[in-house]
Structure 1
Amino acid sequence: MHWAKKAALTKQVRAASFYAAKNAGVLRCDKVRVTLTWFVRTTTRRDADNVVPTLKALCDGLVDAGIVPDDTPREMDKVMPVITYRPGQPSGLQLLIEEVHDHAV
C-alpha cells in the first residue's frame, strides 16, 4: 500500500477510536488493558499480528480521547490481537477496554 493511502487509513482508524470512546462515555483511567478481537467468517489461515497496526492506531485514538495519558506499558497493556471464527456472522473488529488496578504488594 502506498504510504499516503496507509497514512490516511491509519488516521481514519485513530479518529474512529477517538469518537467511539467519547460517544461511549469511557472515562479517564490511570491504566487500561486493551484487547482487539478480529471476528472472521471463514477458516482461512490468518496471522494475529496482521492487525497489530490497526491495534496501534486504535490505542492512539484512546490517548487522543484522553482515556489514558499515553500508550506506553505504564498506562496501557496491549494484548496480542485475537482471531475468533464466527461462521454466518459478520466480520469485524471489537476493541475491549478494561481498567487495570495495579495493587502494590
Structure 2
Amino acid sequence: MTTHMIVLNGTKPPLSMNQRLHHQVKARITWQLRDEVYIEAKRQRLPRGVPHVTVTLHYRPARNGVRDADNLVATLKPCCDALAKGTPKYPGYGLVEDDTPQWMTKTMPVIHPAEKGRPGLLWLEIICSESQ
C-alpha cells in the first residue's frame, strides 16, 4: 500500500454543491481542476493501472467556521475523474481503470481546523492498494 498527495492550487474549494454558477463557468472550473490533477499526477509519476485506490479530499480553511463537508464533493468529483483512465473524448491519467467503486473508493472530504497565520489549503490523499 502506498500513499500519494496532490496539493491543489487555491486556498478554498473552487466548486461547491451550494454554488449557482452558469454552466459554462462551472465547466471551465471543472476542466481546470481536471487538468491540474492530471498534470500533477504525471509530474509525480504516479503509477498507472493500480487495482484499487482510495481518494480523500482534505481542506484546511484560512479561518475556522461552520462548514459542511458535503459541499466539497463538487470539487472531489473532477479530481477523481482526472485520476481514472477516462475516455478518448475525456482522457484521464489512468491511475485506475474507472472511478467506479470496483476501482476507486471516494471518501467523504475532511475539513481540518484552521491554523493561525496560514492560508487555506486543499489536497488529495491517494492510497493505492492491491485490492479493494
* Aligned amino acid, residue 41 of structure 1: A
Structure 2: gaps of 5 or more residues: 1-20, 85-91
Aligned to 1:58: 79
* Aligned amino acid, residue 26 of structure 1: L
- Normalising by the residue count of structure 2, what TM-score does the alignment of the two structures yield? 0.74
Q: CA RMSD in A?
A: 1.2
Aligned to 1:79: 107
Higher helix share: 1
Report if aligned partners of 2:53, 2:129 keep a CA contact under 8 Å in 1.
yes
The aligned length equals 103
Structure 1: gaps of 5 or more residues: none
- Normalising by the residue count of structure 1, what TM-score does the alignment of the two structures yield? 0.92
Structure 2: how far apart are the matches of 1:13 and 1:102? 27
Secondary structure of the residue aligned to 2:107 is strand
Aligned to 2:120: 91
Q: Which contiguous aligned blocks of 4+ residues in structure 1 show a shift greater than 4 angstroms?
A: none
